[in-house]
Amino acid sequence: MLKILKHLNLSQKLSLLLSLIFVGGLAISASSVNALLNAKAQNQISLQAQILLEATSAVRDYTDTQVRPHLENNTQNLFLPQTIPAYSAREVFEKFRANESWGDYLYKEATLNPTNPRDKADLFETYIINRFRRKTNTKQLTGFRSQPFGKLFYIAQPFAITQSSCLECHSTPEAAPKSMIDRYGRDNGFGWKLNEILGARIIYVPASKVMQTAHQSFVKVMTIIFAIFTVAILAVNWWLNRYIVRPLNRMTQTAEALSKGNMEAEFEQNSHDEVGRLAKAFTLMKISLRISINKLEEFRTKLNSLNS
Ligand code: HEC
């Protein structure tokens, strides 16, 4: 390898070095840019999910504290699901995702034994709820879920009944308002116990679009880095040729011409840098050489005339 290097000329050696830097630099930039953009995309998705989950909590809270009290007397005769926090949170979210841009977002109060079948936890959600049930101090779980239409990011928070007032409708069908039984039946959503984890509030945010944007940014940034590296290599090569390789080649030719006896050959000095100073030194050497040769000539002529 070293032997091959010795036979390369300066610009080839430099090109080789720059190419190594180019490949290494590109690989390092690619991995760090990728990590950075991915982290940024993840943060963005996670923030969206967090905000939406907070917003649904606010709707729940509003319904619980401001709507339900107004209709409490009414519920005996006519059951109004609109007064139920879980229902209003879900309905508000359904309105939100009716907009085409947010159609892939989803909010669910996934429950193992729900009052409304649309809240029934699917296999994936059951797995999450069981994790919360096993480790009761887990406050939140996040991650990705693959769906046929793309990848979803989720944030899940466990829920349990913490107030005994909730048990009026969620303990036994006998305790629940008749109007509620008429609407929802006696089979689902009963037997809940205080402080037992019953399900998880889950928000799903489509990750594919954000990830795709991150990927596009990655391609853009890498193209710019690639272009900068390419221009730098071309510029350095051009500079090396113009200011070092060509002047050195010219000096070599001049030195060769001089060695063959052409004393008219001149070392060109076009700059005052190291290369220029080398040309100047060669010129001085050539002058000294000429003086020495002249002296030698004179001496020889004198010797000849003395001899004759
Ligand atoms: C007046 C009866 C009533 C009371 C009181 C009540 N709920 Fe409900 N709850 C319901 C009904 C009805 C539904 C189903 C709403 C729907 O159609 O989405 C429901 C749904 C839920 C759900 C969604 C899962 C499911 O079963 O479909 C959760 C979670 C929930 N309630 C929690 C609570 C909590 C916590 C309290 C106490 C703060 C509470 N509920 C008090 C009637 C009640």
State pLDDT tens for residues 211-220.
888 999 999 9
Pocket residue to mutate for ligand 1, from 71, 94, 115, most atoms within 8 A of Cβ: 115
d(CA 208, CA 49): 14
- Cα–ligand 1 centroid distance for 176 (angstroms): 11
Statement: residue 71 has pLDDT above 90: no
- Using the mean position of ligand 1's atoms as its centre, give its distance from the Cα of residue 157 in Å: 17
111 close to ligand 1 (CB < 6 Angstrom): yes
Contact (CB, 8 A) for 149 and 204: no
83 touches ligand 1 (CB under 6 Å): no
Minimal-distance CA residue to ligand 1 atom 39: 166
Give the residue whose CA is nearest to atom 36 of ligand 1: 166
* Residue 202 confidence (pLDDT) above 90: yes
With CA atoms as reference, report the closest residue to 14 among 24, 5, 23, 26: 5
Q: Cα of 278 to ligand 1 centre, how many Å? A: 92
Amino acid at 210: V
Using a pLDDT cut of 70, give the percent of the chain over it: 98
Calpha distance 121→163 (Å, rounded): 23
Predicted pLDDT at 163? 87
As a whole number, the mean pLDDT across the chain is: 91
- Hey, what are 238's tokens? 């051009």
Do 151 and 208 touch, CB atoms closer than 8 A? yes
| Token code pair at residue 44 | 């963005």
CB-CB contact of 199 with 109 (8 Å): yes
Which tens digits make up the pLDDT trace of 236-255? 989 999 999 999 999 999 99
The atom number, within ligand 1, closest to the CA of 199 reads 29
pLDDT band at 79 (very low <50, low <70, confident <90, very high): confident
What are the structure tokens assigned to 119, written together?
A: 């809240």
- pLDDT, tens digit, for every residue of 146-182? 988 889 999 999 999 998 888 989 999 999 988 899 9
Q: How far is the CA of 98 from the centre of ligand 1 (A)?
A: 23
Output the pLDDT for position 74. 62
Give residue 73's pLDDT.
Answer: 67
- Ligand 1 pocket, residue 158 CB under 6 Å: no
Q: According to the per-residue pLDDT averaged within each range, which of 73-77, 125-129, 230-234 is highest?
A: 125-129
- pLDDT for 189 beyond 60: yes
152 in Cβ contact with 205 (< 8 Å): yes
pLDDT at 69 over 80: yes
pLDDT above 80 (res 1): no
pLDDT at position 272 over 60? yes
Query: Looking at residue 284, what is its pLDDT?
Result: 94
Say yes or no to pLDDT of 37 above 80: yes
How far apart CA 130 and CA 135 sit, in angstroms, is 9
Does residue 205 register a pLDDT over 80?
A: yes
Ligand 1 neighbour 115 (Cβ under 6 A): yes
Which of these, 219, 199, 67, lies nearest to 131 by C-alpha position?
199
Query: With a 6 A CB cut-off, is 29 part of the ligand 1 pocket?
Result: no
Check if 213 has its Cβ closer than 6 Å to any atom of ligand 1. Answer: no
* Rounded CA separation 34/23 (Å): 16
Closest CA to 202 of 126, 87, 107, 122: 107
**pLDDT over 70 (residue 75):** no
> Region 230-238: what's the mean pLDDT?
91
Greater model confidence, 75 or 156: 156
Determine the Cα–Cα distance for residues 29 and 246; give it in Å rounded to an integer: 34
Residue with tokens 């139920």: 84
Contacts of 200 (CB under 8 A, 6+ apart): 110, 121, 125, 128, 129, 132, 141, 156, 157, 158, 159
Contact 86 CB / ligand 1 (< 6 Å): yes
The CA distance from 142 to 22, in Å, is: 39
With a pLDDT cut of 90, the percent of the chain lying above it is 68
